[in-house]
Amino acid sequence: MSTLEELREQMDEVDDQIAKLYRERMHLCDEIGAYKVRSGVKVLDRQREREKLQHVTGQMEDEFCKKGVRELFEQLMSMGRKLQYQRLVEAGALGRLPFIGVDSLDAEGARVVFPGTEGAYSQAATEHYFGKNCNSFYVKTFREAMEAIEEGSADFAVLPIENSTAGAVDEMYDLLVEFENYIVGETVIPIQNTLSALPGTKFDEIERVYSKGVALMQASRFLEEHGDWQQISVANTAIAAKKVRDEQDKSQAAVCSAYAAEVHGLEVLADNINDESGNCTRFIVVTNQKIFLKDASKISLCVEHSHESGSLYHMLSHFIYNDLNMTKIESRPIEGRNWEYRFFIDIEGNLADAAVKNAIRGLREEARSLRILGNY
């Protein structure tokens, strides 16, 4: 019987052959890639790949080897494609019109819209990003803010995308798909909620609490201690504060910022009522121009892929192969297709980076759809 050393020696010989054949195969892929650059033929040829998989699995005897050789050739072909995308990018064949790189945002005198009303956290985020004296106005909903950008009545919108306690703002993800607007910046501000009501209100007079749904979630422990209060969701924390002021009813209170309470003449009955003391929200800055800052370092993408085993894995392989760091992934249901999802992915990088271009070239060809939501 052979010793372990002898078996390993034989294995090394086989592996050397595999490595040599791999090099030859990639060299051929490269030549085919050069042909594709010249002729404009698409990189991915699904029919050819299907036939190849059938052919190689047909050479295996048992199911175990069939499955293994299929996976091996799927990987080989995927690597071959990535090499070809690289060649296409080097040849400047980038596909759809790229974003335009700018040195800075044209923020001087720009009109900035935020959702809510006077005193909203979105207003605080707007002033944090564009400065206290920026030219801002508010609309009631996220949708109206996106519409204002699309039709040009505002140059930028500042909208919440994610809270550190409650997670993603789902509606914003859906609106980013629906509207042809682009993310050009982001800013994070602390969210410290209070329970506020008309001046002189006593705790035991309160029957109803108004706020934005996520803000009620962020203060869930405090609100559970007052389980008899009815919790009512409205569009915005500052709108809740305004409602309590306008209706002059001491059985009502709002979960809102101290600033919103002050703006709307309410008294803070309890401060810092959030479950998490470090609670903060990330806001995005959106515009209707296809631009990105030249020093931008984060890219947001939206990808849809065929609903089959391994498709997410293949999609993510473009980031791995190009050494791109994925920092976030969210999924949202696709309307009209029950239990199918689109993925929102953030990666580190700039649209001018070769690695980013390679990954995007590959995703664009292999995914059902790809949208670059912004580079900021």
Ligand X SMILES: C=C(O[C@@H]1C=C(C(=O)O)C=C[C@H]1O)C(=O)O
Site for ligand X, rule CB under 6 A: 29, 32, 43-45, 48-49, 52, 76-77, 80-81, 84
80 vs 362, beta carbon nearer ligand X: 80
DSSP 332-372: EEPTTSTT-EEEEEEEES-TTSHHHHHHHHHHHHHSSEEEE
Instruction: Return d(Cα 243, Cα 212) in angstroms, integer.
Output: 12
We find the least distance from the C-beta atom of residue 328 to ligand X, in angstroms, to be: 30
Instruction: Return d(Cα 130, Cα 112) in angstroms, integer.
Output: 8
Q: Which amino acid is at 121?
A: Y
38 vs 202, beta carbon nearer ligand X: 38
49 vs 267, beta carbon nearer ligand X: 49
59 vs 277, beta carbon nearer ligand X: 59
Position of minimal CB gap to ligand X: 80
We find the least distance from the C-beta atom of residue 326 to ligand X, in angstroms, to be: 24
We find the least distance from the C-beta atom of residue 312 to ligand X, in angstroms, to be: 19
Residues 6+ apart with CB under 8 A from 355: 322, 323, 324, 349
22 vs 203, beta carbon nearer ligand X: 22
Dihedral of the alpha carbons of 358, 359, 365, 366, in degrees to the nearest 10:
140
Helix, strand and coil percent figures for the chain, each rounded to 5: 45, 25, 30
Yes or no: say if 254 and 261 are a contact pair by the CB < 8 Å rule: yes
Nearest to 241 by CA among 220, 223, 222, 255: 255
7 vs 91, beta carbon nearer ligand X: 91
> Which stretch of DSSP H or E encloses residue 137?
strand 135-139
We find the least distance from the C-beta atom of residue 361 to ligand X, in angstroms, to be: 14
Instruction: Return d(Cα 5, Cα 139) in angstroms, integer.
Output: 75
Q: N- to C-terminal Cα distance for the chain? A: 63
Yes or no: say if 241 and 196 are a contact pair by the CB < 8 Å rule: yes
> Which stretch of DSSP H or E encloses residue 302?
strand 298-304
We find the least distance from the C-beta atom of residue 304 to ligand X, in angstroms, to be: 20
Write out the two tokens for 127: 């002033």
We find the least distance from the C-beta atom of residue 49 to ligand X, in angstroms, to be: 5
* 162 DSSP β-pair partners: 168, 282
Yes or no: say if 138 and 111 are a contact pair by the CB < 8 Å rule: no
35 vs 203, beta carbon nearer ligand X: 35
We find the least distance from the C-beta atom of residue 22 to ligand X, in angstroms, to be: 11
194 vs 358, beta carbon nearer ligand X: 358
52 vs 66, beta carbon nearer ligand X: 52
We find the least distance from the C-beta atom of residue 219 to ligand X, in angstroms, to be: 53
- Please, is 225 exposed, middle or buried when counting C-beta atoms within 10 Å of its C-beta (0-12, 13-18, 19+)? exposed
Phi, psi at 292, each rounded to 5°:
-145, 150
We find the least distance from the C-beta atom of residue 32 to ligand X, in angstroms, to be: 4
Residues 6+ apart with CB under 8 A from 323: 355
We find the least distance from the C-beta atom of residue 50 to ligand X, in angstroms, to be: 10
Write out the two tokens for 243: 């409602």
44 vs 312, beta carbon nearer ligand X: 44
